[in-house]
Amino acid sequence: MMEILGYVLYPGQEDYKTRWIKEEDYDEVVCEECHSLLVDDYFNDDVKLQKMKYDFLWVADGANIFVTEKVKQFIIDNGYTGIELRPLRTMEGVYNLKCNNLITIEKELLDYGKKCNKCGEYTSITTGQYSIFYKNKWYYTYVKEKVKDGFFITDLKFGEHTYKSPELIIGTETYKKMKKAHLKGFIAAPLVKE
């Protein structure tokens, strides 16, 4: 049996139609050669999302996570720090979740795309040999120690082009608390020790 060290948190609702990056900002924040997002803290409070059915929503363009008032209250009630909840002007009670707590991951077995000559970013980064598909579920092995209670992000962005973003990581205790609080609309992929 594999020991669970934490979880990668994925929003269950995806919005592929919404453009997070404003057209007028695109040339300033995106590399013209490889199309990687160059700014880590880009924020568009005018974005118009699809209606949120659950407590978590992911926007592919800019790879951002949005949460409801219920998640905001959960974070406050549990005293989690290092998290910014940036309100949207276009949707009351919806926040862009920006996590500032870094967790260092193993990097040598990741799969890297071509390195851009202009900005130095890789066109893509995937979990490579740190992924295990077992009994119809994905498991990841790029973390070697138990994750503390709270929210963290990986010190590397996964995905490709403007869809690259750090993975959102939670501790096992955080996961239990989220389930108990009946937060809805997230997938938790286990981080395991081999």
The answer to whether the CB of 106 falls within 8 A of the CB of 158 is no
Percentage of residues of the chain with pLDDT beyond 70: 93
Cβ-proximal residues to 30 (8 Å cutoff; 6+ apart), any chain = 21, 36, 37, 38, 162
Encode pLDDT of 17-27 as tens digits: 666 677 888 78
Encode pLDDT of 89-137 as tens digits: 888 999 999 999 999 988 888 888 999 999 998 888 888 777 777 777 7
Average pLDDT of the segment spanning 41-57: 80
What is the structure's pLDDT at 57? 85
What is the structure's pLDDT at 128? 77
Q: Would you list the domain boundaries of the chain?
A: 3-193
What is the structure's pLDDT at 45? 75
Q: What is the mean pLDDT of the chain?
A: 86
Distances (CA, A) of 60 to 24, 107, 136: 19, 23, 24
What is the structure's pLDDT at 43? 73
pLDDT of 67 > 80? The answer is yes
